Amino acid sequence: MPAGLRMPAGFGVPALGRTAARLRTRTGALLARHRTFAVVLALAAALRVVTMLGYPPARLYWYDSFTYLDNAVHLRPSSTFHPIGYPLLLRALLPFHSVTVVVAVQHAMGLATGLIVYALARHKGLPVWGAVLATVPVLFDASFLRLEHAVLSDTLFILLVVAAVAVLAWRERPSPRCALVAGLLLAGAALTRTIALPLLLLVLLVLALRRVSWRAVVVLALAGMVPLAGYAAWYGATHGKVALSGADGVALWARTMTFADCAVVQPPPELAPLCPNGTVVDAASEYVWAPGASINLLPGGRFAHNERAREFALRAIAAQPLDYLRDVFADTSIAFRWTPVAHPARTVPAFGFARGIWSLPDQPLVAEVRRTYASDIGAMRSAGPYADVLIVYQRLAYLRGPVLAAILLLGAAGAVLRPGRAALPWAVAMGLLVGPVAALDFDHRYVLPVVPVACVAAALAVRPARPGKGDKEKGGRGVGVGSLERQEAAGPQEDRPPPHHLTAS
């Protein structure tokens, strides 16, 4: 050994062996305390392996998937619907050059979302069976399996939102440090899907009404807004105008096409060409793409008129507020049907696992991203017997609309009776449910982010069992429910860390 270089005392193979032994002991103790959830998580992981084997390589959607992949290669703010959050994740996975790796990571994110829901529920004193039950929809609903298997931003968005809610709900009154983390997570969610921008404002409002410390509220606001401001500046440097999206006005304009009456709105001459022109489609969002819709008849393409479209939409909503609310309510109520409704009609709202081959569109961008991002891009195909298992499974594992309504009603009761626990996740769930419909349209895919947050709200609405009455697993150590409730009743805990055995790690 060179002079001056000596191994620290106790370092070597025996020390590494002791470290490994301690790690095995701690892992074993953790699994013993949470063996039921470990089994549930393993089953959920097995379902995701079956999904990958049954439908290789991944579900790819024209426009969305291929635009994301292209944007990951050429990182820049998109001038249309897609902000930069999901392309950044795809860019991190670019060295693998595989969409199979992308969906594998997304399946792992789905498992992580369930783990966060379980950890929060146990931390708040729910018995094991209650905490596990709260994770069942996100871990086992076939719709989540399909969503995670698609090259779409939703899985990342769901994980970021659920993580932000968990950080803020971990204590009754979040500390500035928790607010900082939650603000960054919500900023990431807004940079993944812009519907999280009003969600950030909603969270700030709920925390202010709960009289959380002003420092935490300010830190959350700054942590959420500064990254968004930086992205807006980047967008402005690229496209000549400061914004987060180049399509928000077009989306809101499409929302108004189901009710706008220009005899009532009376738009100025420069906005009159955006009036309904008699084109009829089956859902508001279809007006964005319908060739005969008024915005698509204007020169330059639909997104060149984003600001004008936004101004027209705001005028229409102001002139016909009851018509707007009626349509938003009607479309939102589709989420609570027992039998899923295809809205728009071209979508598959549920039971989408089938036998067949899903060919790629004949578009130049497909060949481009196959060359620059992933060589395994190809037509998705069903592969038996794995696909056959999922085709049968999806009929049994689907969260029906009335069940979702019951979960939301339980969360609403908790928000009223136990606002310190359930108000925040319930408000976020409702924002996720109504927000996309108010901004554009209803889609069953947009309902899926509601589910885990609504389950958190419902779980926190339930009064935990007394210590020793169901909060322990056989052979394990339960969560100290009584001490947790006393801590929450004591008020702010900004300087009091949680017990080490209750931390997320």
pLDDT of residue 494: 36
pLDDT of residue 15: 66
3-state secondary structure 65-115: HHHHHHHHHCCCCCCCCCCCHHHHHHHHCHHHCCHHHHHHHHHHHHHHHHH
pLDDT of residue 454: 98
The 10 Å Cβ neighbour count of residue 232 is 17
Q: What is the mean pLDDT of each run of 10 residues along the chain (505 residues)?
A: 52 64 68 88 98 97 92 91 94 97 98 98 94 97 97 98 97 93 97 93 93 93 96 93 91 96 96 95 94 94 93 98 97 96 89 94 91 95 96 95 97 90 95 96 96 97 59 41 39 39 35
Query: What gap in Å lies between CA 216 and CA 175, rounded to an integer?
Result: 6
Nearest to 93, CA basis, from 104, 84, 78, 82:
104
* Stated length of the chain: 505
Query: What gap in Å lies between CA 315 and CA 253, rounded to an integer?
Result: 10
Query: What gap in Å lies between CA 429 and CA 474, rounded to an integer?
Result: 34
pLDDT of residue 14: 67
SS3 content of the chain, % helix, strand, coil (to 5): 65, 0, 35
Structure tokens at 153: 């931003």
Angstrom distances, CA of residue 345 to CA of 31, 282, 285, 450? 46, 7, 11, 22
Structure tokens at 349: 């709202």
pLDDT of residue 246: 87
Prediction pTM value:
0.87
pLDDT of residue 155: 98
Q: Is the peptide bond before 340 cis (omega within 30 degrees of 0)?
A: no
Q: 29 Cβ partners below 8 Å, 6+ apart?
A: none
pLDDT of residue 8: 53
